[in-house]
Amino acid sequence: MKINFFGKINPIKRQSFDMRGFTLIEVVVAIAVFSIISVAAVGAFSAMFSSYKSARNLNENLKNSQYAMNLMNKTFRTSTVVNPSSEGESTFLEVYDYSQNKCFRYSFSGGKLLRSSAALNPTSTIECGSFVSDGEMTSGLVTGSFYVVPSEGGVYTNLAGDAIGPKSVKVGKITTAMKISNGSGSQMREVNLQSTVSLRDYSLSNIGIDMEIPL
């Protein structure tokens, strides 16, 4: 026995019933769900883009700092320490570069690595003149310090106790430590750099010269 459930329904009314749309509640719920998904997607994309931008800026600042450190190390290798003259840590360093016949002053100040240069005063000892700023060597926020171990010299003597020439007692070293940051806040990232250079201090080290053998 076949039962026709629509046998008593007007064909026009049945067609209207089959083609009905969404109710107001369904539309509101759909819009709310779509809005929540859209806000979440925009927030995730914004955070990802901000993180990428922060990492890119930090990488650029790191490259500039590495170049500055390499440039300083090249100068230190042919220099003697002028100030500070005693062993210890400091945020500034003054050296006299024999290869360029100039004094250089490096300092960490205001989140920057700064360099200044000066001519050598015509005196019997190494003494620098007035320093003139050469500008900033790094980008971004950079802090750091120098740790100096000055060179120490002595003299060679013959069997009679007469001085026959200079000798190296201790080769000096300069350790540079730098912290590079891309700013502040939740997206802040930091990278540390450190390098140690042995000084070829021509006034004291006399590396490669054996004065025990009279010349």
Would you give the distance in Å from CA 58 to the centre of its chain?
8
- Residue 175 pLDDT: 94
**Which regions in the chain score pLDDT beneath 50?**
5, 208-215
- Residue 209 pLDDT: 47
Dihedral Cα 140, 113, 196, 170, nearest 10 deg: -170
- Residue 208 pLDDT: 47
Is pTM beyond 0.85 here?
A: no
List pLDDT tens digits, range 73-101.
Answer: 999 988 888 888 788 899 999 999 988 88
- Residue 213 pLDDT: 44
Which H/E stretch holds residue 73?
helix 24-76
- Buried/exposed code over 132-144 (b: 16+ C-beta within 10 A; e: otherwise): eeeebbbbbbbbb
- Residue 206 pLDDT: 54
- Residue 74 pLDDT: 92
- Residue 108 pLDDT: 94
